[in-house]
Amino acid sequence: MSEKLTMGAVAYASKVVTIWEGFKGYFAANGLDFDYVLYSNYERQVEAQFAGEVQLAWNSPLAWLRAERMAAARGVSDQVKAIAMRDADQDLTSVILVRADSGIRSVADLAGKRIGVGAIDSPQATLIPLQWLREQGVDTASLQIVRNEVLAGKHGDHIGGERDAARALAAGEVDAACIIDGNHLLFTKEGTLPPGRVEVLARTAPYDHCNFTTSPGAPAALIDRFVTLLLGMSYDDPQVRPLLDLEGLRAWRPGRVSGYPLLDRAVTASGFYDAAGAVKADGYRY
């Protein structure tokens, strides 16, 4: 049996190669024979986990939920685990923005309005905010959903869809827009959101983002070693720091699944995946 640990990652941007080459070098220097395989989309990556191509994957929250559903359907839930995540993956929120002069004062006022969201598969800019609105009593069927399809299959890892939604809001093309919390300040600073003209109508409950997900049958000893090395990475280590900066974190945390129920309900309500993890979303091309 091979002693190499092979991980899947999605190539959502060119920096992904730099990141995982860096991690490969870090793991090699610490005695872990590690390699990675890049996929063009998360659906193919999760399927590869169950086809035995990779023993581990760096998954979006939506990819995690699909893996979890596929594992349950195959009776291998005990083997498919979220083993680690970034500090920056925990307790995110999304916001729903409206123009200050729109007259929209509560989520109930959104009924019948045009709402700009991200790509069809974006947890933070589409699935979670729409689910949160459902849970606030908004009939989402009454909304005119305007999707900003940027890099479908990459589960919203691209900021472009959210920026397009914010631009459309500022331009009056939609009545509301959904983005992740951290992008609000970014879009304000860069001028995409004109100061004083756009307001935060609502903020969702907190949720978690990416995690490392083990594949069925992943070798326990190698996975343990992987997690130990990962959690041992320190931001004040000059060799490690550029990798953490590229991946956007200060520290790795042990994985937790307590931050995914809101997205899980969104997946069910929208019919994105079925209970066994099959892709059912209408019009989803990747």
Partner 1 sequence: MAIATETLDLGDLGFDRGAHLLIRRALARLAPGQRLRVHGSHRELALHLAGWCRGRGVALEEAEGALLLGPCAALARTEQSGTPARPAESAPATWGMAARGADVELGAPAYHFPLATKAEVWAEEAGRLYAQAVAGQWDPDSAIDWNAPFELPDEVEDAVVQVMTYLVENENAALLVPARFLGQLHPHFREVMQCLAITVADEARHVEVFSRRIALRGRKPGLSSVGGQASLKTLFDTADFSVSSLLLAVLGEGSFVNLLNFLNLYAPDPVTRQICRLAARDEARHVAFGMSHLAWHMAEDPSLRHRLETAVEARYDALADTDGLNEEVFDALILLAAGAFDPAAIATGYQRVQDLVREMSDGRRARLMKLGFSLPEAQAMAERHTRNFM
Q: Which residues bind partner 1 (CB under 8 A)?
A: 87-88, 91-93, 95, 181-186, 188-189, 195, 199-200, 203, 234-239, 241-242, 248-251
Widest pairwise Cα distance in the chain: 65
| Shortest CB 189 distance to partner 1, Å | 7
Under 8 Å between Cβ of 260 and 65:
yes
How many other CB atoms sit within 10 Å of the CB of residue 51? 11
| φ and ψ at residue 9, rounded to 5 degrees | -145, 150
- State which residue, 80 or 249, has the beta carbon closest to partner 1: 249
| Shortest CB 203 distance to partner 1, Å | 6
* Pair of tokens at residue 176: 């509301």
| Shortest CB 7 distance to partner 1, Å | 24
| Shortest CB 181 distance to partner 1, Å | 5
- State which residue, 29 or 220, has the beta carbon closest to partner 1: 29
- State which residue, 51 or 251, has the beta carbon closest to partner 1: 251
| Shortest CB 244 distance to partner 1, Å | 9
| Shortest CB 99 distance to partner 1, Å | 15
- State which residue, 43 or 157, has the beta carbon closest to partner 1: 157
- State which residue, 55 or 60, has the beta carbon closest to partner 1: 60
- State which residue, 102 or 270, has the beta carbon closest to partner 1: 102
Q: How far is residue 24 from each of residues 7, 21, 220, 252, measured CA to CA in Å? A: 10, 5, 19, 16
